[in-house]
């Protein structure tokens, strides 16, 4: 049967918001309603007739409400096949009424988990009856309409109202798809909670919130973002955020989270910083960051960890850029920055909370912990005779934070709270050094007295030799090469400082 009229319904929901509209269309069409507990009381208080599930089953709700609807007269009424003569005969033999509509949602497991509730409270929010009813009704979509969330009420009401309380097979299958999405998401959340201790190597991730993007990395590729963007920031101006925008924003926020104490400004292009600097004001930090690479900054993604005021906005507005992320903007700054209609302005509201990273690769998925370690003076190991000055130490800390977030092979050259050049994504360490030196010269920087940071060890002494010849006398790197002593020896012979951090920070 394609068109089926709803003559009886089972309603048992945790969330009762907006349920009235659905109840009204059922009452208008004289639908028999079965219900339990708080939902039954809600329906009665709405002035509608309702039969209790206990009347149907002959059993009360038991075990503190853990068992209410798991009974053959309920499950049978949902699952028996109306076009199967044997099923119909058995339903008649055991006095099992048909249930044509099931309106059931689930206990709020995720909300309970995020509230900091105890383990016992969390366990009690694992729904058993609800998930069983949803799966049963969805399985028998040939005969039954399943409404498994209050977000589906409006659509269900529209269908029932327009079709005299009847549904088509296509409509029921669509709602069954909703139901299996909800049930699989729910089970994934429960598994991941239990798996924090069991640590089974099973990859399960479920995100039900999605934003369709204009396209993917290129216009011929489709793109979707899964997640709640509004939890990370408020978009207060500009066009829709693209796939590439999101990748750059993620890189920008991850970099800026390294800087908590000083006012810092960064400019990124294709996830790499082309300028990073601190300053007494956002304006000063921006100008220093922009100075590092005035070419790559064009069309870049900008981010700061301090409020953008009118003075900063007046300078920033001179640059064509895609995105500016800040914790806040004053009204005068917004008036200036909103002068370009497509310019994206984001007010960041929270840090990145994810502790795991994963991506599809080959015929599967790879997963890793986020790189959340950043070395400072406490982790620095002084391996040369010449010890760093306080200013050099501060600059090495600054440069090491940046190189950690730069595509490998990576080199960062910095001085006085300003990145003055970088070598990015090179196939050899020495090429990254050469690129950084060349870039510094291009933009008029003398690297004499600057420090150099590397995301991984120097395999040969050649990088230290180039640094020395350019006037760089302080280097911070992870160490770990079989030729470390050759590099340390060269530094000692040329009165250079070398610091080992003990941690590599490859980024691919």
Q: Say which residue the tokens 């399943």 belong to.
A: 146
Tokens of 228: 């709640």
Tokens of 183: 């049930």
Q: Which residues are catalytic, by number?
A: 139, 270
Q: Establish whether the linkage from the previous residue to 58 is cis, with ω within 30° of 0.
A: no
The answer to whether residues 324 and 345 touch, using CB atoms and an 8 Å cutoff, is yes
Q: What is the rounded CA–CA span in Å between residue 493 and residue 497?
A: 11
359: β partners: 366
Tokens of 141: 């979509």
Three-class SS state of 476? strand
What separation in angstroms does the CA of 503 have from each of 85, 205, 478? 71, 30, 5
Tokens of 15: 């969330």
Q: What is the rounded CA–CA span in Å between residue 96 and residue 72?
A: 8
Nearest residue to 483 (alpha-carbon basis) of 454, 504, 468, 462: 462
Three-class SS state of 4? strand
The answer to whether residues 132 and 123 touch, using CB atoms and an 8 Å cutoff, is no
62: β partners: 67
Chain-centroid distance of CA 6 in Å reads 40
Q: What is the 3-state secondary structure (H, E, C) of 290-359?
A: HHHCCCCCCCEEEEECCCECHHHHHHHCCCCEEEEEECCECHHHHHHHCCCCCCEEEEECCCCCCCEEEE
């Amino acid at each position: 049967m394609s068109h089926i009229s709803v003559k009886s319904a089972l309603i048992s929901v945790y969330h009762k918001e907006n349920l009235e509209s659905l109840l009204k269309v059922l009452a208008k069409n004289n639908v028999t309603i079965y219900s339990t507990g708080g939902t039954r009381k809600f329906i009665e208080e709405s002035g509608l007739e309702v039969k209790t599930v206990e009347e149907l089953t002959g059993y009360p709700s038991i075990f503190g409400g853990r068992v209410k609807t798991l009974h053959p007269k309920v499950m049978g009424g949902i699952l028996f096949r109306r076009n199967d003569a044997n099923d119909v005969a058995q339903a008649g033999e055991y006095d099992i009424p048909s249930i044509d509509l099931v309106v059931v949602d689930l206990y709020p497991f995720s909300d309970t988990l995020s509230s900091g509730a105890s383990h016992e409270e969390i366990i009690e929010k694992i729904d058993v009856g609800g998930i069983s009813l949803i799966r049963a009704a969805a399985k028998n979509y040939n005969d039954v309409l399943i409404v498994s969330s209050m977000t589906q009420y409006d659509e269900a009401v529209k269908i029932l109202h327009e079709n005299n309380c009847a549904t088509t097979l296509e409509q029921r299958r669509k709602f069954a798809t909703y139901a299996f999405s909800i049930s699989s998401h729910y089970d994934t959340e429960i598994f991941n909670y239990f798996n924090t201790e069991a640590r089974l190597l099973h990859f399960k991730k479920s995100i039900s919130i999605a934003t369709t993007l204009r396209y993917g990395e290129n216009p011929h590729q489709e793109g979707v973002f899964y997640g709640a963007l509004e939890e990370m920031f408020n978009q207060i101006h500009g066009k829709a955020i693209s796939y590439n925008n999101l990748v750059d924003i993620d890189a920008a926020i991850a970099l800026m989270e390294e800087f908590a104490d000083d006012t810092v400004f960064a400019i990124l292009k294709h996830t790499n910083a082309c300028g990073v600097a601190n300053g007494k004001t956002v304006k000063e930090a921006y100008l220093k960051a922009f100075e590092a690479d005035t070419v790559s900054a064009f069309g870049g993604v900008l981010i700061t960890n301090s409020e953008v005021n009118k003075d900063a906005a007046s300078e920033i507005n001179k640059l064509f850029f895609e995105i500016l992320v800040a914790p806040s903007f004053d009204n005068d700054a917004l008036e200036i920055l909103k002068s370009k209609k497509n310019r994206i302005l984001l007010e960041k509201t929270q840090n990145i909370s994810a502790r795991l990273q994963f991506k599809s690769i080959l015929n599967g998925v790879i997963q890793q912990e986020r790189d959340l370690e950043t070395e400072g003076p406490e982790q620095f190991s002084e391996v040369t005779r010449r010890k760093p000055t306080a200013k050099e130490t501060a600059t090495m800390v600054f440069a090491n934070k940046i190189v950690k977030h730069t595509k490998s092979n990576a080199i960062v050259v910095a001085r006085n709270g300003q990145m003055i050049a970088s070598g990015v994504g090179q196939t050899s360490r020495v090429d990254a050094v050469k690129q950084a030196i060349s870039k510094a010269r291009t933009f008029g920087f003398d690297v004499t007295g600057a420090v150099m940071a590397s995301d991984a060890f120097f395999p040969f002494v050649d990088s230290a030799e180039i640094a020395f010849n350019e006037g760089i006398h302080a280097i911070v790197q992870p160490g770990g090469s079989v030729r470390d002593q050759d590099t340390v020896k060269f530094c000692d012979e040329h009165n250079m400082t070398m610091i080992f951090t003990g941690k590599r920070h490859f980024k691919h």
